[in-house]
Amino acid sequence: MIKRLLLLVCALGAAGLHAQTEAFTQRFYETYETYKEPSLGARRIQHADLQPLIDAIAAKPGFEVNEVGVSIEGRPFRLISTGSGETDIFLWSQMHGDEPTATQAIFDILNFMASPDFAEEKAALLATVRIHFLPMLNPDGAQQFQRRNYLGIDINRDALRLQSPEGRTLKRVRDSLDAEFGFNLHDQSRYYNAEQTEKPATISYLAPAYNYEKEVNPVRHRAMQVIGYMNRILQQYAPGQVGRYNDDFEPRAFGDNIQKWGTSAILIESGGYPEDLEKQEIRKLNYVSILSAIYAISSGSFAAVPLDDYYNIPENDRKMLDLKIERVTYPLLGTDYLMDFGIYRNEVDLEGHRDFWNSSRIIDMGDLSTFYGYETLDAKGYRMEAGKVFPHTLDDLNAVAALDLWEVLAGGYTYIRVRKRPANTPAVALPVHITGPDFEAPPAKWDVGDNPTFVLYKDGKPAYAVVNGFLYDLENRSGKGKNSLVLD
């Protein structure tokens, strides 16, 4: 009886502490812009962008910076540490070079930690925990904005062989810290959604399994509780947009092995958010989520979170589309078919890997009633036809830009021939494709893998144009695409 009463008192105390911590963490979202690192404003960041920021942090009191290794191409890894508490928390980011969202958020967190604000709260925090940041574990991959390292391997599948210097560094740092908590920070495809909903999985969590049986020991249990806490926070800012990543055991993966080695491993995956291609709102959610977790660990309030809070997070599904055209009439060989079209706006890096252009593709067609679009058009009653070639061949892009291109699209024209096309330029920031003088329009038939360019007619009149996967409303002159293509 006495034991049961003590447990009840402890639970009530933890619940009260949880409520206090949660109330404080709401201020992270409200004050975020104060700490957002302005020099990291786009996704395609590189190792050189981070070094002045780390140098600046190293010069501030309360921070320690140590070089802990180098990449294959010789770029140094620098571990940033702060705090004096007994509980070590280790965060590492961008082991996939094209997954930078949390790297940006780490520097926002460091700005928060280095500021004079919330001095009393931070002093209490840093007396309890010691926090270690290892940003951009794959700098060679980040230089090319690619997933794999310079050796061509996926670092996240190198936990057993440890053949990459990046993997060996991560293992060595984890072992030397023997951290109680570890945050494995990634990006996932923007095409994931929270299962059976139209909402993207903006943030997905996972407490990785440490064996094939997916057992839950105290180490994994703690990770699940922290995730349950973070989900509760994020539901205030992205309701219904949190998913749970598949927990099938992968014996080569670092997250699974770090869980096995005794560190409570918490995977955070940054997915998609409407009208946020550069993932800046998702970066903010990372900041709030991670800082909230750190405070919950420091206060111990995460211990009040039941495991059901973790299991109740919907699993990830992959049913999001950039553009979904529903129930359009598609004529083929004399017969009309009712079709859905799903479109991805694939990114192709420009030279230097600092920007990109879109080369869109039809990813699926037919009955897509179980899929969802970031942008959706119900095209019932509209007829799909091929875009036409503008009747006049123009001299150059300046002549194209001088046209009223809304009028051009309203005529059903999606291609313009020019005599002097820009050399070595695959794309142009115009709503029509640019072609050579001998170009002929493709036939009115589409397949998976084709570029989505067509016109939707209503009562015999063009109402919408889709050019390179971007939707243009011709009556309201609304819609904007990043680019069209330069074609032969």
How far, in Å, are 23, 177, 463 from residue 297 at the CA level?
Answer: 15, 17, 55
188 vs 424, higher pLDDT = 188
Residue 73 per-residue DSSP state: T
Nearest-angstrom CA–CA distance, 27 and 22: 9
Each residue's pLDDT tens digit, 137-176 = 999 999 999 999 999 999 999 999 999 999 999 999 999 9
Find the distance separating the first CA and the last CA of the chain, reported in whole Å: 83
Within 101-251, strands assigned E span 129-134, 181-187, 193-194, 203-206, 242-244
151 vs 11, higher pLDDT = 151
Sorted by where each starts, the structural domains of the chain and their CATH numbers stand as: 10-317 (3.40.630.10), 320-485 (2.30.40.10)
pLDDT for residue 90 is more than 80? yes
Residue pair 102/186 in contact (Cβ under 8 Å)? The answer is yes
* Residues forming beta bridges with residue 300, ordered by sequence position: none
Residue pair 78/106 in contact (Cβ under 8 Å)? The answer is no
Range 230-234 average pLDDT: 96
**Three-state DSSP class for 120?**
helix
The whole-chain average pLDDT of the chain stands at 95
Residue pair 139/75 in contact (Cβ under 8 Å)? The answer is yes
Residue pair 370/318 in contact (Cβ under 8 Å)? The answer is no
Q: Which tokens in the block code for residue 369?
A: 């009633």
Each residue's pLDDT tens digit, 431-483 = 999 999 999 999 999 999 999 999 999 999 999 999 999 999 999 999 999 99
Tally Cβ neighbours within 10 Å of residue 48: 11
pLDDT-derived band at 126 (thresholds 50, 70, 90) equals: very high
Each residue's pLDDT tens digit, 206-224 = 999 999 999 999 999 999 9
| Residue 155: CA count within 13 A, CB half-sphere | 32
Number of residues in the chain:
488
pLDDT for residue 2 is more than 50? no
Each residue's pLDDT tens digit, 269-294 = 999 999 999 999 999 999 999 999 99
Range 163-192 average pLDDT: 98
pLDDT-derived band at 22 (thresholds 50, 70, 90) equals: low
pLDDT of amino acid 422: 85
pLDDT of amino acid 25: 76
pLDDT of amino acid 26: 82
Instruction: Give the whole-number percent of the chain exceeding pLDDT 90.
Output: 93
Give the angle subtended at the CA of 465 by the CAs of 461 and 468, to the nearest 5°. Answer: 160
pLDDT for residue 298 is more than 80? yes
pLDDT for residue 5 is more than 60? no
pLDDT for residue 3 is more than 50? no
Range 330-354 average pLDDT: 97
pLDDT for residue 8 is more than 60? no
pLDDT of amino acid 19: 60
How far, in Å, are 152, 171, 391 from residue 45 at the CA level?
Answer: 20, 25, 44
| pTM for this prediction | 0.93
pLDDT for residue 390 is more than 90? yes
